[in-house]
Every structure is written in structure tokens, then in C-alpha cells.
Amino acid sequence: MQRRPLALILASCVFLFSPLNLIYQFLHGEKFNSVDWLLTGLLPLGLCVGLLRVNRIAWYTLFGFVFLWGVRDLHGLQSPAGNLTQVLLHLFVYALSLTYFINPRIKRLYFDPKLQWWRTKKRYETHGPAIIQCGTKTHYPTLKNISEGGCFLETPHIQDQAEQIVITIPLPSPIPESSLRLRGEVRWVSSKPEKMGMGIQFLNLSKEDRFNLKKFVAQH
């Protein structure tokens, strides 16, 4: 799956209600001050964009926005033109959104970029040789899959998470270089007998390495 959850998109777009309603009222002759444009137009629009981009700052901003809207609605009820139905509608809509975004599974998407699968490079299955150097030790894992951003190495010689290693991958003849020598970081490890190995993220690729890697990945 390479797309954001549909529910996340819909919950984020709920915050377009306020700016669209503001524009509708403005086109029908109502006047608004700068605070109205900021609180009802720009802030919810920015919040919608931030939530769609799965930005952790937007996740925090969500609570401030709902609080400000609550204060605004309660203040509006004190005026003769106060509309209780509209206030209840706002409360319902934003309470529904808050319930979704504070769900632990959704919250983790905003705080752990590794869980944002739609931003990861597509991986391709392989079954080829590789060489890794971990300090003074050399191991010969099997390259099980690869993307332009990383790979999975099947090996019993598992390194610690966040440790940096050097990976050498032999390249087929159509590619000018005979091998790729890349620096990578261990992002996750698997000790399961049926899938023992390490997930590696490539680091600081040169322009030439990136070009050769892209050609290698394209062949799969």
C-alpha cells in the first residue's frame, strides 16, 4: 500500500469547512475582520495541509485550534445573534476529528516517520550476494530486497540498531561500475529463524552511487 489512509485524508479535510464557509459568507456580502480571516480561514487551512502532510507540529496545533474555536463559539453565544445549533455542530465535527487523531495508531504515524509507508521507496525482491564490513569483521549476507533508499540483508551476523556498516553489492555487466560500495545504517533487525537479518538505510550517497543504484534497482 503506497497511499495515505483514506480516513486520515477525510479527517484532515474536515478543517476545510471553516475557510470554505468563510468564503461563502464573504461572497454573500458579510464583512469580516482580520481575526476572522486568521482564525476561520488561514489557521484551519494550514492545519488541514499539516495534517495531510502528517506533520507532528500540525498534530499539536490541532488541539490549540479546537480550543480557540471553543472559546470563540462560547463568546459568540453571549451575543444576541449567537447560534446554539452552529456551536453544537462545530463541537461535534471537531470532537469527531480529535477522536480520530488521538487514536494511538494514528498518533504514531505523526511521531515515527518510519511508519509513513507512503513515503518509502518501493522495494524489489532480489536474491544476490553482498559483502558487509562491520568494523574489522567481514560477512557475506544475501541481498533479499533493495530500493533506492535501503535494503534487507539476510544474515545470522546481526549488528546493533543504529550501527553503521559498509555494504558492497556486485553489479551486472550493463552497469558501468563492477560493484556498489555504500555506507548504511542498521534501522531494524529481525531475529526470526525464517527471516533473520537487518534492514539497512543507505547514507550520504554520491551522485554516481545514486545513479548506479537507480539503474540496478530498475533492473528488478
Task: Please give the domain boundaries of the chain with CATH numbers for all domains.
Answer: 6-115 (no CATH), 121-218 (2.40.10.220)
Which grid cell sits at 46? Answer: 494550514
> Three-state DSSP class for 167?
strand
Residue 41 and residue 25 in contact, taking contact as beta carbons nearer than 8 Å:
no
- The model's confidence at residue 45, banded by pLDDT at 50, 70 and 90, is very high
> How much of the chain, in percent, has pLDDT values that exceed 90?
32
Whether residue 78 is predicted with pLDDT greater than 50 in this model: the reply is yes
- The model's confidence at residue 2, banded by pLDDT at 50, 70 and 90, is low
- The model's confidence at residue 82, banded by pLDDT at 50, 70 and 90, is low
Residue 122 and residue 147 in contact, taking contact as beta carbons nearer than 8 Å:
yes
Mean pLDDT of 147-170: 91
Mean pLDDT of 183-199: 89
- At 1 the pLDDT is 44
- The model's confidence at residue 5, banded by pLDDT at 50, 70 and 90, is confident
pTM value is: 0.55
Higher pLDDT, 92 or 47: 47
Mean pLDDT of 77-81: 69
Residue 143 and residue 169 in contact, taking contact as beta carbons nearer than 8 Å:
yes
- At 166 the pLDDT is 95
Which grid cell sits at 101? Answer: 487523531
Number of Cβ atoms within 10 Å of the Cβ of 81: 6
- The residues that bridge with 128 in the sheet, in sequence order, are 143
- At 211 the pLDDT is 86
- The helix (H) or strand (E) run that includes residue 91 is helix 84-101
Mean pLDDT of 89-95: 80
Closest CA to 185 of 215, 149, 210, 216: 149
